[in-house]
Structure 1
């Protein structure tokens, strides 16, 4: 089975969705993973398609002209004081653009509250035929595969999934065998990138690599093949690989091309058993 690849938002952070789609088409991707939910982070562009009609129109045109599809949107965070309904315009856009699902993560230590809001999120997403894929992030309040599995079992909704990011998987020190105990239907797509052998011991160090300096697949020390090959064959591989210096050196298009070329080379050398 031919692996399918998606170009993730953080890999080409400075590119609006239309430009991102054309870059994905030029460099050999099948999908894009966009961020129409504005998070207000320092230096983050606002790609809120629901409130930017011209950008939305250009995004639809780019999808039609290239044949690229939208795999997922991000990021429907769970945090204290949130209003799940505020995500609905982005869900509507996602459905109109043909997205399969979204990414969510938990940023509150109050597990009962997080469960309540996640259930509300899943029920709202279901109205738009979207799956809600929970990502455990090394520096978030839900940071391990075990926690994610227990959380989703409590949530008990049909449209849930677990989204594995190979960097967070490695840095949370998850055992490979834990993947064998996850329901196969929970695996819809995965984020892939590589990273150095040394795992930072503080939050700042974890964030720096995660947002600014991930490595091309096969360039670092993460056993990516052993992680991905434990998932179903049809899992989409979304390359989330921000690297500020390389973007400065090569530009976004060349960086995106190197991302997918190194990934294809790596998986060609590490086929499924």
Structure 2
């Protein structure tokens, strides 16, 4: 069974959307992930919304290479939430034929968060997009059990999803049994990387690692092999390794190749 690979935004953060697509194509990826909405005001992103020339160039690169858009980032569900805030993002996803939008849950009122997640799924449904809720230990959705509880209490919408990131698996209380307990229909893709495992890190340390200093699979102490053995064998893999220091000595294309080579042994069938 051949794995499907996507080059995550954080692995190609130095690229524009069309550049990321061409880098992915040159290194054996079938998809890319894009960050078209920043994770905080003024934070890094790829600029495409409201730029028809960039959209057209991105679509041309997709047509030329056959590389598609898998996921687009990011929607954060906070206390004051209106799903229509992201209408421009949904429209861009439709134009790019994207499959999923990455969702973060920030509202500590879980009942309200759950209600807003259900609203979001309903708004996204006509666009053919899944709403993949990523558990992260510094957010209100801290582990896999929390993510599953939110999705199930939201009524398990048809386009609901749970995103498993190896980093957050290794730095939360999530167990392999918790991963196995996620219904198959909620899993659309998973993110691979490595780091020092543990639940003793401060919020600042966790965020720094996630955004600046992930390790290649095999270079840390997260049970990456166990995780991907517990996940479905046909699940698409988003290769998400950002490491500012390591990237100083490798261009975006070389880095994409390094990340792919390090990831394959953990997710390809073993003889």
Give 3-state SS (helix, strand or coil) of 1:105's partner. Answer: strand
Quickly say closer, same or farther: Cα 1:149–1:197, change in 2 above 3 A.
closer
Flag structure 1 segments of 5+ consecutive residues without an equivalent: none
Q: Counterpart of 1:260?
A: 260
Aligned to 1:72: 71
Please give the secondary structure, in 1, of the residue aligned with 2:163: strand
Provide the residue aligned with 1:114 in structure 2: 113
1:46-195 alignment, distance < 5 Å: 46-47=46-47, 49-156=48-155, 157-195=157-195
**For 1:206 and 1:239, how far apart are their aligned partners in 2?**
19
Whether the aligned pair in 2 keeps the contact of 1:14 and 1:45 (CA below 8 Å) is no
Q: Can you list the C-alpha shifts for 1:126-182, whole angstroms capped at 9, x where unaligned?
A: 010111111001211111111111111111111111100001011003111112221
Contact residue 118 and residue 155 of structure 1 kept, 8 A:
yes
Task: Mark the runs of 5 or more structure 2 residues left unpaired by the alignment.
Answer: none
Tell me which residue corresponds to 1:243: 243
| Corresponding residue number in structure 2 for 1:201 | 201
State the alpha-carbon separation in 2 of the partners of residues 43 and 181 from structure 1: 34
Rate the CA distance shift 1:246–1:43 in 2: closer, same or farther, 3 A: farther
Q: Once the 2 structures are TM-superposed, how far is the Cα of residue 33 of structure 1 from its aligned partner? A: 0.9
The corresponding residue for 2:213 is: 213
- For residues 3 and 65 of structure 1, what CA distance do their matches in structure 2 show? 22
Number of residue pairs matched? 270
CA contact (8 A) 1:200 1:206 kept: no
Worse-superposed segment, 195-204 or 114-123: 195-204
Q: CA deviation at 1:227?
A: 1.0
Check the 8 A contact 2:170/2:197 in 1, yes or no.
no
Deviates more, 1:222-231 or 1:59-68: 222-231
> SS at the partner of 1:74?
strand
8 Å Cα contact 2:31/2:68 also seen in 1: yes
Deviations 1:15-37 (A, max 9, x none): 11111101101111110011122
RMSD, matched Cα: 1.7
- Deviation for aligned residue 1:83: 2.1
Query: TM-score, normalised on structure 1?
Result: 0.94
Displacement after TM superposition at 1:256 (Å): 1.0
User: Which whole-Å CA distance do the structure 2 matches of 1:43 and 1:108 have between them?
Assistant: 20
